[in-house]
Amino acid sequence: MSENNAIINGRTTWEGCSVLLDINDGDRLVFARLSNAAKLKIGNKNYSLQPLIGCAFGSIFQAESGPHGPFLSHSIQGNDKTEEMKEGQVNDEPRDNRALIDNNTAQSLTGDDIEAMRREGARGNEIIEALIANSATFETKTSFSQEKYRLKKQKKYAPKVLMRRPVARSICEAYFKKYPTKIGFLRVDTLSLLLSLANVSSSSDVLVVDMVGGLITGAVAERLGGTGFVCNSYLGKSPHSMDIVRIFNFSDEICKRILRSSISDLLSQNESPEQVLEHTDVCNPESQSNEQTCPSVSVEKISLSSENGISDLGAENTENTNIPSKRVCKAAKAGEKAPPEVIDSWKEDGFSSLIIAAPESDTWTLVKDLLPLLSNSAPFAIYHQYLQPLATCMHNLQVGNMAIGLQITEPWLREYQVLPSRTHPCMQMSAFGGYILSGTKICDIANSIST
Amino acid sequence: MLDTDPAKKLSFNRSISNGDLVIVYERHDNMKAVTISEGSVLQNRFGVFKHSDWIGKPFGSKVFSNKGGFVYLLAPTPELWTLVLSHRTQILYIADISFVVMYLEIVPGCVVLESGTGSGSLSTSLARAVAPTGHVYTFDFHEQRAGSARDDFERTGLHNLVSVGVRDIQGEGFPDEFSGRADAVFLDLPQPWVVIPSAAKMLKQDGTFCSFSPCIEQVQRSCETLQTSFTDIRTFEVLLRTYEVREVKMDGVEGNESGSNGSHPCKRRLCSDGSNVVSSSISSVMARPCGEARGHTGYLTFARLKCLS
């Protein structure tokens, strides 16, 4: 257990570890798997990721060129720059840009000069200092724009790589920023609300319909921490992609808790007492004990073996630049087909909660089918980019007296720039993070009256 | 609330028993926490409900009073608890709570420090996130408030996951025994910047920090102090807009002679003057934002301990 915790809360990388590389303060975000062979391309140079192995998450690396080619060097986070920022008091600044003439002659250093410096082994920071020394206008800039200038040059001549831990927060933010369509425009605050509203907690069995690349499945599994189950369910025969799950550094214990099942398998064999009541079948609840002998068991075992090939794809890289990972990395093997005995236990006890993010399926049809699989008093949360499917679903749930505490919410998230005398909301924001319909399933009326 | 005991886990076969905490739901804006005690009754505007009638029923049941009024009995969750707990202080609500837990990267096994405890609204969700192997250490300088919070955690069954300490964190900082042990630190204090050096000392490398402040001036000072030993400093405001959904029947009346009105359900009736009137009643489900909303709760400032190794 302690070993598992070390991996979950792992704060130092290892070979085969998945990382999120943040290049130049979010300009580029790359998911990579660390190995001696893995390379990261910045500009036109390839940098080996080998120096990142065994370093702490949160470490910053500087791209440098050395006698043996370009390399990433571990840099210590100082507070030099921030100190300069602090001194930049805007209001009592005598300098301004009235004398600025944009004629491209301010910089006397040429591209050839810089190349020459590089050949002589100048470090990125030295090039930046030379550029500043040779800039005719630098001294006349306000300290704020001096800082901006420095930052711009740093990005070009001394690129910075911040190594982040791939967790639900960073993965969701990275996708939302670079590939929002792959996660159905699910913003991080919306994801956080889904997890809360569905009461995702250790030892719970969470049913999900995840058509957002596995982000929800992964986020739920992270909260379960190797207890309970997350059941990734799907309509029809082919499961939805859960590639994102493999970006998390999940221990085997956690991976074992991520199972897949088709919705029809979950709905078949109405053996649980609840199901029996619902369909008013004349059936003896005792028949549960017989379910191990059901003919469907053998069928499921056959398809189990064909599922095994799905997970291993090697290095993850959203940028599609080449990070070759020749070495077969040990990727998390999550999403096995749910064994029949686990499905039976879900049918008997009911799921603890339900999360749906299925933009391509009819919301009400899904909810109508899946709600009976939840225990009574179980909460559910449904995500959608559009309001109408949720409104219709909410109305039907109300009319059908199937749930209470129904609410449609839309989260709103605004970030602020906080600087001395320069605090204001950020100029750009995400205007939309999706809608959530949430509620609590209640007992069937027939059921509660009869007892 | 977090049932580590499998027998207590929410399930089709789990029913309400004596001593259980239930959330009595009247309406979405009217709920109450009740601990079942066999001889007790609940009295409200719907009449008198006997607890003994509730025992043995499944959670999620609709139960009736002597006058035929009804309520629902729900299993407690941190979200429901936030709606029913007794407010000893201003509390954090679901949008902020959810965002804090996610942004602080709190997962099972984490050690989290919090101050002040207040009414324990956030602590309850923190406890859920660190369970079953982590722990929340929460501090409040108000002895009685800390005591009430402790009672609440006992009542919600979270006492194994949350420890409440009486301590003036602003005056003394966090206890030294937690140095370098915390995965995350959360502050909801009037002068958070005073505690930031102590918070930095408590955190593991790359550990996460959050401060909740209602006023921008507090944020300003906190952010300045954070520069010294933190990085990735970001300030957010998160709010919720809720929607109301209604089925609306709209009458479209057209006085024309040949009424073929496409797909809409039509009713053809003869008017007193003898002309044909097509009256189509269209019913549709529509949604609109609720008129009133919480406009501000507080600013959330997050940061990460600088990595020095």
Which residues does chain B have within 8 Å of residue A390's beta carbon, measured at their own beta carbons? 287
Residue A37 inside a domain? The answer is: yes
Which residues does chain B have within 8 Å of residue A223's beta carbon, measured at their own beta carbons? 107-108, 129
**Out of A273, A404, A435, whose CB is closest to B72?**
A404
Residue A102 inside a domain? The answer is: no
CA distances from A159 to A32, A48, A71, A132, B240 (A): 17, 14, 11, 17, 38
Using a CB–CB cutoff of 8 Å, tell me whether A407 touches chain B.
yes
Q: Which pLDDT band, with edges at 50, 70 and 90, does B182 fall under?
A: very high
Q: Letter for the amino acid at A229?
A: F
Q: Are residues A254 and A349 in the same domain?
A: yes
CA distance B100 to chain A (A): 9
Average confidence (pLDDT) per 10 residues, chain A, 451 residues: 47 94 92 94 90 93 84 74 47 70 78 79 79 81 81 83 95 95 96 98 96 97 96 93 94 95 86 41 34 30 28 33 39 81 94 95 95 96 97 96 96 96 94 96 65 40
- Domain final residue, candidates A123, A146, A165: A165
- Domain final residue, candidates A165, A187, A214: A165
pLDDT at A298: 27
CATH number, position A124: 3.10.330.20
Cβ contacts of B305 within 8 Å, gap of 6 or more: A58, B200, B203, B204, B205, B206, B207, B208, B209, B229, B230, B231
Which residues does chain B have within 8 Å of residue A448's beta carbon, measured at their own beta carbons? 57-58, 61-63
Cβ-contact A49, A72 below 8 angstroms? yes
Query: Strand A39-42 and strand A45-48: pairing?
Result: antiparallel
Which residue would you say has higher pLDDT here, A153 or B213? B213
| Mean pLDDT, all residues of chain B | 90
- Map B67-95 to HEC letters: CCCEEEEECCCHHHHHHHCCCCCCCCCHH
pLDDT at A97: 73
Residue A76 inside a domain? The answer is: yes
Residue A419 inside a domain? The answer is: yes
- For the stretch B143-174, pLDDT in tens is 999 999 999 999 999 999 999 999 999 999 99
Across B2-26, average pLDDT: 84
Q: Could B309 and A404 be called an inter-chain contact, meaning their C-beta atoms sit closer than 8 Å?
A: no
Q: Are residues A258 and A402 in the same domain?
A: yes
CA nearest neighbour of A222 among A188, A263, A250:
A250
> What is the number of alpha carbons within 13 Å of residue A151 lying toward its C-beta?
14
- Domain final residue, candidates A165, A192, A211: A165
**Out of B2, B239, B287, whose CB is closest to A201?**
B2
Q: Against a cut of 0.90, is the pTM above it?
A: no
Which residues does chain A have within 8 Å of residue B223's beta carbon, measured at their own beta carbons? 418-419
Q: Are residues A409 and A435 in the same domain?
A: yes
CATH number, position A192: 3.40.50.150
Q: In A, residues 212-241, which contact B (CB 8 Å cutoff)?
A: 222-227
CA nearest neighbour of A247 among A191, A319, A320, A170:
A170
Q: Are residues A402 and A263 in the same domain?
A: yes
pLDDT at A287: 34
pLDDT at B22: 95
For chain B, which domains are there? Answer: 6-76 (3.10.330.20), 80-239+295-305 (3.40.50.150), 243-289 (no CATH)
pLDDT at A141: 79
Which residues does chain B have within 8 Å of residue A8's beta carbon, measured at their own beta carbons? 107-109
pLDDT at A270: 52
Q: Could A168 and B102 be called an inter-chain contact, meaning their C-beta atoms sit closer than 8 Å?
A: yes
Q: Are residues A432 and A285 in the same domain?
A: yes
Tell the burial category of B78 from Cβ atoms under 10 Å away from its Cβ (0-12, 13-18, 19+). buried
How far is B265 from B252, CA to CA, in rounded Å?
11
Q: Are residues A210 and A120 in the same domain?
A: no
How far is B92 from B85, CA to CA, in rounded Å?
12
Residue A68 inside a domain? The answer is: yes
Q: Which pLDDT band, with edges at 50, 70 and 90, does B261 fall under?
A: very low
Provide the residue range defining the domain that includes A66: 1-92+107-165
| Structural domains in chain A (count) | 2
- For the stretch B220-244, pLDDT in tens is 999 999 999 999 999 999 999 999 9
Cβ-contact B285, B245 below 8 angstroms? yes
Residue A101 inside a domain? The answer is: no
Q: Are residues A113 and A191 in the same domain?
A: no
Cβ contacts of A221 within 8 Å, gap of 6 or more: A230, A245, A248, A250, A254, A255, A257, A258, A334
- Helix or strand run (H / E) with residue B195: helix B192-202
Q: Are residues A160 and A279 in the same domain?
A: no
Chain position carrying tokens 């036109």: A44
How far is B141 from B115, CA to CA, in rounded Å?
9
Q: Is the pLDDT of residue B67 over 70?
A: yes
Cβ-contact A168, A120 below 8 angstroms? no
CA distances from B80 to A353, B31, B112 (A): 14, 8, 22
Q: Are residues A151 and A256 in the same domain?
A: no
Using a CB–CB cutoff of 8 Å, tell me whether A432 touches chain B.
no
Q: Are residues A198 and A141 in the same domain?
A: no
Q: How many CB atoms lie within 10 A of CB A2?
A: 7
Chain position carrying tokens 């837990």: B101
How far is A222 from A216, CA to CA, in rounded Å?
10
pLDDT at A78: 59
Tell the burial category of A76 from Cβ atoms under 10 Å away from its Cβ (0-12, 13-18, 19+). exposed
Q: Could A191 and B239 be called an inter-chain contact, meaning their C-beta atoms sit closer than 8 Å?
A: no
Q: Which pLDDT band, with edges at 50, 70 and 90, does B253 fall under?
A: low
As given in the structure block, the two tokens for residue A57 are: 């998450």
Q: Could B243 and A391 be called an inter-chain contact, meaning their C-beta atoms sit closer than 8 Å?
A: yes
Residue A198 inside a domain? The answer is: yes
Q: Are residues A269 and A161 in the same domain?
A: no
Using a CB–CB cutoff of 8 Å, tell me whether A313 touches chain B.
no
Q: Are residues A130 and A186 in the same domain?
A: no
Residue A139 inside a domain? The answer is: yes
